[in-house]
Amino acid sequence: MRRPGGDKGQVSIELLGMTPVIVLTLVLMWQAVLVGYTFTLAGNAADEAVRAGTAVPRGERDGACRAAGLKDLPSAWSGDASVTCGGTGRVTADVRLKVPVLFPGAIGFPVTVHGHAGAVEEVKR
């Protein structure tokens, strides 16, 4: 014995039930992309900072290093960025960036991404 109308409309009901799961999955994937992009930015900023830090005398290193580390960062990441340089003989740069939540520039995730780079100090003769 069949019901009048059968399974008509069942797909619509299942789609409505799955919509929150689909949206949540997309949001989580987007957040994972932002975390990965922040790691890429931190590593690149550390590389640029240490490159600039090796090319200047020790007294000017911190300023040049910080400026080079922040130069190419998008504004959404550069606001909370921390760039530190140091070392003798071997120059190191550490960059710390906050991961944005869903929209870069809105609010920061309570996770800090760390980028580190090092290079041998250039000797000027």
Q: Mean pLDDT score of the chain, rounded to an integer?
A: 83
Q: Which residues contact residue 83 at a Cβ distance below 8 angstroms, ignoring those fewer than 6 apart? A: 45, 49, 65, 66, 69, 70, 93, 94, 95
CA-CA-CA-CA torsion for 58, 61, 117, 76, nearest 10 degrees? 170
The answer to whether position 1 is within a domain reads: no
Mean pLDDT, residues 111-121 taken together: 87
pLDDT exceeds cutoff 60 at 125 = no
The answer to whether position 95 is within a domain reads: yes
Please write the tens of the pLDDT for every residue from 19-74: 899 999 999 999 999 999 999 999 999 998 998 888 777 777 788 888 888 888 88
* Tokens standing for residue 92: 């190191």
pLDDT exceeds cutoff 70 at 5 = no
The answer to whether position 22 is within a domain reads: yes
Range of the domain at 94: 10-120
Q: For residues 82 and 94, what is the distance between their CA atoms, to the nearest angstrom? A: 8
The answer to whether position 103 is within a domain reads: yes
* Number of domains the chain contains: 1
